[in-house]
């Protein structure tokens, strides 16, 4: 999506972002080969997005371009503590049509060719019942072919018609996932007090990465449970993309053969740097050492 960030004097600065896109950019910066699969319009802003993603090393050959459509838009406002508030304009965004447009069929079929497919709860909220059914079918086929799926909970209530629909979709995603990145905040919002239990029911078949409010990361993998703590950054400016960057560093480390504990430490390190800068995507020269 197009990202507008409100400055202290009320002016808006323009960039780009979106939860899975943020993760794709950080994965590319960390050295993982990554393609981003979505839909954009045929407008000049969509052209700019493609150019920016290409410049970051994110593959764009499988971005569907739909005539007459536009990308989504959001505005970030932050309070003095760096906590952010988002306002979205994405009801007619091209990305919503990814699993509806007939011309998207080759792109959808290509999903099963990737070693790892990453999606989020926000991804699920875009597609509607029919689109989600098609997506889950593709994910199941990919896993049957030996591919892996990573799912980040990222629950935003405003993106769903009601909680019941969202709970059903999330449980289906849990069933399809090999790695689940979650936060207690997301789970409490969606499931209430039973959220953590709903997630842990899948710990016998999925690697679970659960982030707590105190920044402790609880990792359950292959019958083992590990707690990986972290200290809050002292100079937080903007918490946008903290979870997205954590996911990128975690997945990059796991794809590189590192242990879940080392992967969580990498996630904490990158997220701790991202929150010290404004916007979803920080400057390249601000990236921490691997």
Spatial distance between the Cα atoms of 185 and 176, rounded to a whole number of angstroms: 22
244 has catalytic annotation: yes
Spatial distance between the Cα atoms of 247 and 63, rounded to a whole number of angstroms: 22
Radius of gyration of the chain (CA): 18
Beta bridge partners of 88: 74
Q: Which helix (H) or strand (E) holds 28?
A: helix 19-29
3-class state of residue 38 by DSSP: strand
Spatial distance between the Cα atoms of 121 and 243, rounded to a whole number of angstroms: 13
Spatial distance between the Cα atoms of 37 and 208, rounded to a whole number of angstroms: 24
Backbone angles phi, psi at 177, to 5 degrees: -95, 145
3-class state of residue 112 by DSSP: helix
C-beta of residue 274 within 8 angstroms of C-beta of residue 235: no
Among the options 35, 152, 186, 244, which is catalytic? 244
Token pair recorded at residue 29: 């910066």
3-class state of residue 240 by DSSP: coil
Half-sphere exposure of 147 (CA within 13 A, CB side): 19
Backbone angles phi, psi at 90, to 5 degrees: -145, 15
Q: What is the 3-state secondary structure (H, E, C) of 133-145?
A: HHHHHHHHHHHHC
Residues serving a catalytic function are 244
């Amino acid at each position: 999506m197009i990202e507008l960030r409100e400055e202290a004097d009320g002016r808006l600065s323009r960039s780009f972002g979106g939860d899975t896109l943020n993760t794709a950019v950080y994965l590319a910066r960390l050295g993982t080969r990554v393609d981003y699969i979505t839909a954009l319009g045929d407008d000049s802003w969509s052209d700019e997005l493609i150019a920016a993603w290409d410049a970051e090393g994110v593959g764009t050959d499988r971005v569907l371009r739909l005539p007459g459509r536009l990308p989504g838009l959001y505005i970030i406002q932050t309070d003095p503590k760096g906590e952010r508030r988002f306002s979205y304009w994405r009801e007619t965004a091209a990305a919503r049509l990814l699993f509806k447009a007939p011309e998207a069929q080759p792109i959808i079929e290509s999903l099963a060719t990737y070693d790892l497919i990453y999606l989020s709860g926000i991804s699920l909220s875009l597609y509607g019942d029919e689109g989600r059914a098609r997506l889950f079918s593709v994910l199941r086929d990919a896993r049957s072919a030996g591919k892996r799926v990573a799912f980040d909970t990222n629950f935003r209530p405003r993106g769903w018609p009601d909680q019941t629909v969202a709970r059903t979709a999330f449980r289906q995603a849990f069933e399809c996932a090999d790695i689940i990145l979650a936060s207690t905040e997301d789970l409490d919002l969606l499931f209430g007090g039973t959220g953590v239990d709903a997630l842990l029911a899948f710990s016998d078949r999925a690697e679970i990465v659960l982030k707590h409010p105190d920044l402790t990361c609880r990792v359950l993998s292959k019958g083992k449970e590990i707690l990986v703590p972290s200290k809050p950054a002292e100079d937080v400016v903007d918490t946008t993309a903290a979870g997205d960057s954590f996911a990128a560093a975690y997945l990059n480390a796991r794809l590189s053969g590192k242990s879940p504990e080392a992967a969580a430490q990498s996630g904490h390190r990158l997220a701790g740097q991202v929150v010290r800068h404004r916007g979803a995507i920080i400057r390249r020269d601000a990236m921490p050492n691997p």
